[in-house]
Structure 1
Amino acid sequence: MVDRVFVADAAWLGGDTLAGPTAVGMSGDTVGWVGPPAAAPPEVAQTRVDGILLPGLTDHHVHTALIDSAELLTNGITTLLDLGGVPDELWPLVERSRHDPRLPRIRAAGPFLTAPGGYPTRQAWAPPGIALEIDDPPSAAAAVESLLPYRPVTIKVALNSEAGPVIDDVTLRTVVRVAATNGLPVTAHTQGIGQTLRAYRAGVRILAHTPWTEALTDDLIDGLTRGTTMISTLDIHGWGAPTDGRDTALHNLRRFHAAGGRVRYGSDLGNGPLPLAVNAREIAALAEAGLTPIDVLHAITGAPLRPGAVGDLTAVPADPTTNILALSQAITVCKAGHPG
């Protein structure tokens, strides 16, 4: 049963080109029907949408304690992945986001897992409680298990040898093993020579950032393409100004993508002067790394608009399959079937 219908002159349904006039019917909080406007259920009123319909957009790397999440929902981003927050603040916000129509859907890793005194515990921006310190396999297992009741979507580890000590290989493998036993992937912040290789060898399957402190070897790039996801976060290096870190990250992402690696859009919101919207500089950097507009659409959207998909819709003013920067002008049409 369809209870809301949104109609636009065009929509992106997951292919290489736009579909023509399209109606999307919502059944509760999911997509219930997609088709031409003339075939929409006649008993349901239609809401006209100016622009081109897309699935809701996702930013795969944010820190919600440092931003206004509600503004992101206004600007087309319907889902956030928080990759490091203080548990007492973060988990209530995650729960609230499931029911509050003013907030994007927030999924989270919880606090960082790090070595005693490791990143980010010594950073000026890091509030108390943002990290759980682990120094051996038993403490690693206990830390992962302590997070399970909060339903994290991943476990985040910090492997930043430039900012302090890092956990050893045995402890890292324990994090990965206990997380995997409970159906969770591990996401790693890798910074410093050799840290991405360590993460890969331990079974980490999500990189929170495109590595920028070293050029990855061809063998490592090849290995990473077999099941590892790389979150972009290219614009944090200079915020529009050229830097060595940005150049290295672009070099790594370009090779990873060309080899068939899975890339996801992420901005690291909260880290410097980044817009509370889809970041046009991040999108342009993805294109510079070789992603086509269709690649970028897959990197920033969830499931295509089809029955059973989550009921989130975004609209953009121009064809994003030819002008991908149109994403930076996105607005939210609905979250969980409810108009934005």
Structure 2
Amino acid sequence: MATSITNVRVFDGAALVNASAVRIDGPAVVAIGDPSVVRPEDEIIDGQQGTLLPGLIDAHVHLLPGASVQALSFGVTTMLDMFSKPDLLAAERAESHPQPIAGVYTSSIGATAPGGHPSMMYAPFPTIREPSDAERFVQDRLNEGARYLKIFYEGGQSIEWAMPSLTVTCVRALVESAHKAGMLVVAHAQRSVDAVEVAEAGVDVLAHAPLDPMNAKQIDTLANRGVAVISTLSIADGFPVAGGQMPLLEDPRIAERLGDRWSATIRSQGDRWVPPGMPSFLDAYSNIRQLHRAGVPILAGTDAPNPGTTHGASIHRELWHLTQAGLTPVQALRAATSATAKVFGLDDLGHVRPGSTADLVLIQGKPDIAIDSSTAIERVWRAGRHVDIERYVGSQSEEAGLNFLAAQTARVIASVTAKLSHVQKEDS
């Protein structure tokens, strides 16, 4: 049976449009307009003057078991995974789940030097030693179902401490091989100088806004190279605000939908050890503001499940962060819908228009005016199917995700402890 959603404001992925009804049939939107698009046989949903959006797209995540279920609880219908191993990817595919889950596109395993980031979290995995390794590495990722290639470049220095990194020559070889295979290249580069180097090497997307101040020349280089930037400002949510509260839990609508166990996990992450000399996230805000003004496409991504973030919920914090960085609510919504779809070639996503996939979110509010209202989620549809947005909390998916995260956290803590011990011995 077709469904018509009536009495709504419609944000089509670019702007609020002159329409009050959307009709979906099967997995697609078939009509948008006034009540005349409704057919007598349709199931009719009264939107009660809420806002209908395209399903939100998180342009930077790393999977946990059940992440594709949790994401839908918050209206994220598509996630772009930026490093996961093939066994976890297989478990998060739609065919493994009888009910709707968020769509997942992936880089599979990212390209890094032996011992380079993110070895602490994911080792062992294949790495790149020299440029001649590039072609085989890219082909192996294609065989694993990768849609784009992720590379890690630190210029030999991460934010925390020196670690092995790809050379620029290796980056160029990977870019050449990936482009030859029809893949975009997404680069992890946290410092401005590294971001410029990978842009000049031909990468298409930066996985993060640089964390140190960018100068005008660097901004111009990224703009002239046509590089898009995934914001990941939600990394700042890994640190408590005044009063000790974790930022993600400040919105009661988010906290309630997260449930007790995830809320407790987020709170506990506020007490973790952090490396000395962490950068100011105000620099990342400034960089996003300047890049946006220069015409660089800004894409909304959260880097979940970094500390203080979760799949789905954190995209709403990312929207808020983007407005704090200078984007309007409409521009922030574009960053989480049509802008990401355009850059990654997801032509049927990120829009509400005839022929687009019926990934839809009904909000009881006006997020195009007040971005905070994006969390007032009433209904979600994934490929035309209505989603039970309450089914994640207390489920086996939640249990599996939390257990996986706990094990990964323990692995990172052990690696950091060993690294610190080694550094201290060298200093002494």
Q: TM-score, normalised by structure 2?
A: 0.72
Equivalence for 1:258: 293
Are 1:145 and 2:139 an aligned pair?
yes
- Any conservation in 1 of the 2:28–2:355 contact (CA below 8 Å)? yes
Are 1:117 and 2:115 an aligned pair?
yes
Equivalence for 2:123: 128
Equivalence for 2:352: 305
1:188-217 per-residue CA deviation (whole Å, 9 max, x = no partner) reads 1103462112211111111111110x2223
For residues 14 and 44 of structure 1, the distance between their equivalents in structure 2, rounded to whole angstroms, comes to 25
1:146-185 per-residue CA deviation (whole Å, 9 max, x = no partner) reads 1112332211111133251111122111111111111111
- Any conservation in 2 of the 1:265–1:300 contact (CA below 8 Å)? yes
Residue 265 of structure 1 and its aligned partner are, at CA, apart by 0.8
For residues 42 and 66 of structure 1, the distance between their equivalents in structure 2, rounded to whole angstroms, comes to 41
Alignment of 1:29-40 (within 5 A): 29-40=27-38
Q: Quick check: which one's strand share is greater?
A: 1
- Alignment partner of 2:223 out of 203, 222, 225: 225
- Which stretch of the first structure deviates more once superposed, 156-165 or 263-272? 156-165
Amino acid in structure 2 at the alignment position of 1:318: G
Q: Quick check: which one's helix share is greater?
A: 2
Amino acid in structure 2 at the alignment position of 1:171: C
For residues 100 and 255 of structure 1, the distance between their equivalents in structure 2, rounded to whole angstroms, comes to 44
- Any conservation in 2 of the 1:277–1:328 contact (CA below 8 Å)? no
- Which stretch of the first structure deviates more once superposed, 145-154 or 228-237? 145-154
- 5+ residue gaps in structure 1? none
1:219-244 per-residue CA deviation (whole Å, 9 max, x = no partner) reads 22112124211111112135365774
What root-mean-square deviation, in Å, do the aligned CA atoms of Structure 1 and Structure 2 show?
2.2
Alignment of 1:186-335 (within 5 A): 186-192=185-191, 194-212=193-211, 214-226=212-224, 227-239=226-238, 244-279=279-314, 280-302=316-338, 303-335=350-382
Amino acid in structure 2 at the alignment position of 1:239: G
Equivalence for 2:249: none
For residues 222 and 240 of structure 2, the distance between their equivalents in structure 1, rounded to whole angstroms, comes to 28
For residues 94 and 37 of structure 2, the distance between their equivalents in structure 1, rounded to whole angstroms, comes to 37
For residues 146 and 6 of structure 2, the distance between their equivalents in structure 1, rounded to whole angstroms, comes to 35
Residue 309 of structure 1 and its aligned partner are, at CA, apart by 1.0
Alignment of 1:96-115 (within 5 A): 96=95, 100-115=98-113
Residues 238 and 77 (structure 1), Cα distance of their counterparts in 2 relative to 1, 3 Å cut: closer
Q: TM-score, normalised by structure 1?
A: 0.90
- Any conservation in 2 of the 1:238–1:246 contact (CA below 8 Å)? no
Amino acid in structure 2 at the alignment position of 1:308: G
1:25-49 per-residue CA deviation (whole Å, 9 max, x = no partner) reads 2232121111212332223232333
Aligned to 2:220, the other structure's residue is in SS state: helix
Equivalence for 1:42: 40
Larger Rg: 2
Tell me which stretches of 4 or more aligned residues in structure 1 moved more than 4 Å: 240-243
For residues 176 and 98 of structure 2, the distance between their equivalents in structure 1, rounded to whole angstroms, comes to 35
Amino acid in structure 2 at the alignment position of 1:330: I
Aligned to 1:89, the other structure's residue is in SS state: helix
For residues 95 and 20 of structure 1, the distance between their equivalents in structure 2, rounded to whole angstroms, comes to 32
For residues 91 and 13 of structure 2, the distance between their equivalents in structure 1, rounded to whole angstroms, comes to 34
For residues 194 and 362 of structure 2, the distance between their equivalents in structure 1, rounded to whole angstroms, comes to 39
Are 1:56 and 2:63 an aligned pair?
no
For residues 187 and 126 of structure 2, the distance between their equivalents in structure 1, rounded to whole angstroms, comes to 14
Amino acid in structure 2 at the alignment position of 1:321: D
Aligned length: 332
Amino acid in structure 2 at the alignment position of 1:306: R
Residue 101 of structure 1 and its aligned partner are, at CA, apart by 3.3
For residues 187 and 332 of structure 1, the distance between their equivalents in structure 2, rounded to whole angstroms, comes to 32
Amino acid in structure 2 at the alignment position of 1:37: P
- 5+ residue gaps in structure 2? 242-277, 339-349, 388-428
- Which stretch of the first structure deviates more once superposed, 237-246 or 64-73? 237-246
Aligned to 1:225, the other structure's residue is in SS state: helix
For residues 117 and 293 of structure 2, the distance between their equivalents in structure 1, rounded to whole angstroms, comes to 31
Aligned to 2:174, the other structure's residue is in SS state: helix
Residues 141 and 180 (structure 1), Cα distance of their counterparts in 2 relative to 1, 3 Å cut: same
1:83-122 per-residue CA deviation (whole Å, 9 max, x = no partner) reads 111122214423537x75331111111011101111111x
Q: Identity of counterpart residues, as a percentage? A: 30
- Any conservation in 1 of the 2:100–2:385 contact (CA below 8 Å)? no
Aligned to 1:133, the other structure's residue is in SS state: coil
- Any conservation in 2 of the 1:76–1:331 contact (CA below 8 Å)? no
- Any conservation in 2 of the 1:77–1:332 contact (CA below 8 Å)? no
